[in-house]
Structure 1
């Protein structure tokens, strides 16, 4: 197995084009597990850790450009205010050692339905930047995933960045597992509310062949939330929101949980995260008075 170590993005893209059998690696938290268990034996590994431009983030107005190899630990410490939902999801990933190495770009490259960051990227309307020697294109998170551990990423492309809007309101992330972290999610849920625009984003993970948004639940909240009078939400509204989230799923039975349990758990997560997000919004409104 060859080990390729480019130091610039053009060099990395040239190697990617010339070695379609090479697997990109940054933190290695997914790839090394597959290698150790002999689930994958690629002809080469394409190490991206020396490509400086992939390990930085920047802000242009309301848009955050997050380099593909920025680790979860930096998302938590440096972007908690701008991207609170992504920071919440990052805190649930593995151990501190994994968070110091693992990346959002790697999570996207694996494209697992259970990836912790995927529901947040969907809920906030993130776009994925893909580059090759042919040029650069961006793909909405909703179009990126095409199946179980499959995506639109071409053989000669690298994920170079994720483009996310800075939070315009409360964001929440929650997942169910056998413990709070260091565990693959049985199911997960992300919610983003932008009261100034009356926008809602909601998405589920580990409950369908791909991570997915829940458009029916989003439309329900847009129409039913008391935007002009942010008082406590009635239980009936939260319950209906949970039902619509569960209805949007397509889970399976596996060793981590049954399909019925995943639907029930996501309904509960939807109600809880909505309560937390709306309470956050109400607190912000009171502090502005």
Structure 2
């Protein structure tokens, strides 16, 4: 794909930026933003670029496999480091700054790995649109740890990121955004391995059934399913209600609901706009109550 001149200029500036650095490690999720940074870094410094994925309870196994696949597609070296956010009481508490605590730990692992590999710069995929996209405490951790964000530094927004991904022929150019599993748990409700596991299993089922943009929010045993507006009609059927109720009950949810607002980012975050009960289409599982 041929880029517009303005986007091509930004890409060249980002490439020159990374080429001037003494090795680059990219905090790599396999999403479109970090994949574009990885592709640019691989283009700029070759073997001195490493994509690094942090494995923890909040990363779905399917996303880890996707990160491996995309790194191979780019042709960049891929490293996986493991840690546990659940070891942090601040993270488990799940207050307004959960993402700050998570990002601090995650990027700390990246910095340690970069030092071990002799790479001078840690990069992430923050793009130029992110700072204005609502409640983003994780960006504070990026600033405090002096992580470089080449997309932000060179004013590359989300639409331009996708254009550059197309330019590099990346299969994730149109991939929907994917936040970590802890974002499915409402602020103030503790993040536990049990809740993360049942959310991961529930979302794996929706993906298996062909849904593309969705979330399963865990309200202490009540599953609130959000799907994109263009997929909502598929979910508003008796067949889906019966199937999802049965399958999610087996996973461990007490009740299963479909949110008629549809998919929205940040709907359980401090600045989110959670719907009231009457806005939810309930397909409750059978239980004692």
TM norm structure 1: 0.30
Which has a greater percent of helix? 2
Which has a greater percent of strand? 1
TM norm structure 2: 0.30
